[in-house]
Amino acid sequence: MVELLSNPYVIWAIKTLIIFGAVMTAAAYMVWVERRVAAWIQDRIGPNVVGPFGLLQPIADVLKLAFKEEVIPDRVDRLLHFLAPGILFAAPIIAMAVIPYGPGLWISNPDFGLLWLLAATSIAGYGVILGGLSSGSKYSVLGGLRSTSQIVSYEIPMVIAAIGPAIGAGSLSLVDIVEAQKAMWFAVPQFIGFMVFLITTYAETNRLPFDLPEAESELVGGYHTEFSSLRFAWFFAGEYANMVIASSAVSVLFMGGWYGPLPGINIFPGVHWMILKVAFFLFLFVWIRWTLPRFRFDQLMYFSWKVLLPLALLNLFIATAFKVIW
């Protein structure tokens, strides 16, 4: 047994199961958290019947969707209609492979970890686009087209903002980026980049105030209007899993990962700091959704190209100057 547990492949498999289970559990229970926080903000009760405090509500939702009849319209592109939810759900699973959640608690630590993370998170947008365009519905097509414009527009300032921590750490490895924040989080010298990256994560995950691809009041659900049963559940789960990955990315790149807020507290680095940060940003996702109104589409494009992009370039200049001077 000792020899088995000392096998590096067994250790890697155990870490993979722990990280995968934790992220998927967090994604599932974000549905419950969103409903409870929304009810609290709107002075309602929220889910409190299925299980203690309504904690079994996500399981009831999955069972309900699993036993629902799946309706596939005749006009859909069946191959893309089948693949789109899987692409959206696979993206966060691919991304979590390089995210470090604690000292030694990561699946892989490649030298190009930041590039892997940005590439994997961008894949989710293709699931939304293909889901909309394959449905053969004008509402879904409009949602897919909106998503295309939004992803192209907001990925550019996101990538430029993410270059700042890489410059500060002198590495594209996410573990090296976390270790470089041992004395000071990058959110302090690169506050502009931190805010740009945080805002663009809302656009990339199609959350309010950037939820135009699925604007219920206009598009009846948008890109997933023609999806039902478990295929709709994949879209639903993928959205919340992407929220967990986005919160993890912000925590790793700008908030010090597993390190505490002050150098004196760093004598207790560990996964608990990472969990607290991810939980805070997930709460922020929900809080923003039930507080801010939705953008108009022209405002959405203006905000990306004329506000966030110049700010991201300014942060890149500041990060470079800070690195050279320091």
pLDDT digits (tens, 9 = 90+) for 188-244: 889 999 999 999 999 888 888 888 777 767 767 778 888 888 888 888 888 888 899
Q: Say how far apart CA 31 and CA 217 lie, in whole Å.
A: 21
Tell me the CA distances in angstroms from 104 to 12, 27, 62, 154, 260, one per residue in order.
10, 23, 33, 32, 17
With a cut of 60, say whether residue 257 has pLDDT above it: yes
CB-CB neighbours of 299 under 10 Å: 11
**Within 10 Å of residue 37's Cβ, how many Cβ atoms?**
19
Residue 76: which pLDDT band, with cuts at 50, 70 and 90? confident
Instruction: Give the list of residues 6+ apart from residue 75 with CB closer than 8 angstroms, or none.
Output: 135, 136, 137
Q: Give pLDDT, residue 263.
A: 60
Beta bridge partners of 102: 105
Rounded to the nearest 5°, which phi and psi values hold at 101? -100, -10
Please count the residues of the chain. 326
Give pTM, 2 decimals.
Answer: 0.90
Distance, in Å, from the CA atom of 178 to the CA atom of 99, rounded to the nearest integer, reads 10
Tokens of 8: 């590096």
pLDDT for the residue numbered 265: 61
Q: Minimal CA–CA distance to 60: which of 29, 20, 24?
A: 29
- Domain count along the chain: 1
Q: Which residue has the tokens 């590439």?
A: 119
| Whole-number pLDDT of residue 7 | 67
State the number of CA atoms in the 13 A half-sphere of 293 facing the CB. 5
Q: Which domain holds residue 178?
A: 2-325
Which of 112, 63, 107, 120 has its CA nearest to residue 241?
A: 120
Question: Residue 5: is its pLDDT beyond 70?
Answer: no
pLDDT of residue 3: 61
